[in-house]
C-alpha cells in the first residue's frame, strides 16, 4: 500500500530514516518549536529497509551540521530540499572520520560523562570509537549528546 503524504511547497524532506530513529530526529531538530507544517510517518513499508520513516518540514531548509547529525543517527536517510514543490537539491553528507561533540559515550566512567569535555569519536567501519576511553559504539546504538 502506498501512503500519500501531502507535498510541501518549500522546505526539507527527510526520507529513508531508520524507522525507530524518526522520533529521535524530530527531537534533534526541535520540531516541536516549528511554526510551519510538519508531516511525519514511520513504520512505513520499505523494500530496502524493512520499515522506514519520513519527515517533511515546510518552510525550513536544514543546515549542514543538522544534516550531519541526521546522517550519524540514520545513515540511510536521504535529504531533499524542496522549492516550489520540486526537489532542487539532494543533500548527501559524508560523515567525517573524527566526530567532535555529537555522540554521547556509553561508558558511564568515561571522562566525557562527568566532566565538561567535548566528546570525540573515530569512525571505524560500522562503529565509532571514543578517543578517551576506547569504547566502541555500533552505528545503530548511537545516542547524540
Per the annotation, binding residues for Zn(2+) are 105, 110, 130, 133
Q: Is 57 helix (H, G, I), strand (E, B) or coil?
A: strand
Closest separation between CB of residue 115 and Zn ion, Å?
A: 11
If one asks whether residue 132 binds Zn ion (CB under 5 A), the answer comes out as yes
Q: Would you say 63 or 145 has its CB closer to Zn ion?
A: 145
Q: Would you say 29 or 110 has its CB closer to Zn ion?
A: 110
Options 62, 130, 137, 142; binder of Zn ion; rule CB under 5 A? 130
Q: Is 16 helix (H, G, I), strand (E, B) or coil?
A: strand
Residues 78-97 touching Zn ion, rule: CB under 5 A, are: none
Options 49, 78, 80, 107; binder of Zn ion; rule CB under 5 A? 107
Options 105, 121, 137, 142; binder of Zn ion; rule CB under 5 A? 105
DSSP H/E element including 130: strand 127-130
Q: What is the 3-state secondary structure (H, E, C) of 61-76?
A: CCCHHHHHHHHHHCCC
Q: Would you say 54 or 105 has its CB closer to Zn ion?
A: 105
Options 73, 82, 110, 142; binder of Zn ion; rule CB under 5 A? 110
Q: Are 77 and 70 in contact (CB under 8 A)?
A: yes
Query: What is the DSSP code string of 63-126?
Result: PHHHHHHHHHH-TT-EEEEEETTEEEEEE--PPPSEEES-BPPS-TTSGGGTSS---EEEEETT
| Sites of contact with Zn ion (CB under 5 A) | 105, 107, 110, 130, 132-133, 135
Amino acid at each position: 500500500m502506498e501512503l500519500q503524504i501531502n507535498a510541501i511547497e518549500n522546505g526539507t524532506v527527510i526520507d529513508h530514516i531508520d524507522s525507530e530513529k524518526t522520533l529521535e530526529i524530530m527531537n534533534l531538530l526541535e520540531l516541536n518549536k516549528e511554526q510551519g507544517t510538519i508531516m511525519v510517518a514511520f513504520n512505513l513499508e520499505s523494500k530496502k529497509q524493512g520499515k522506514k520513516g519520513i519527515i517533511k518540514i515546510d518552510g525550513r531548509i536544514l543546515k549542514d551540521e543538522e544534516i550531519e547529525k541526521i546522517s550519524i543517527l540514520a545513515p540511510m536517510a536521504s535529504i531533499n530540499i524542496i522549492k516550489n514543490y520540486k526537489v532542487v537539491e539532494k543533500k548527501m553528507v559524508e560523515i567525517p572520520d573524527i566526530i567532535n561533540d555529537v555522540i554521547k559515550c556509553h561508558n558511564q566512567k568515561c571522562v566525557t560523562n562527568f566532566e565538561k569535555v567535548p566528546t570525540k569519536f573515530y569512525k571505524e567501519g560500522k562503529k565509532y570509537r571514543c578517543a578517551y576511553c576506547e569504547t566502541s559504539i555500533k552505528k545503530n546504538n548511537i545516542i547524540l549528546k
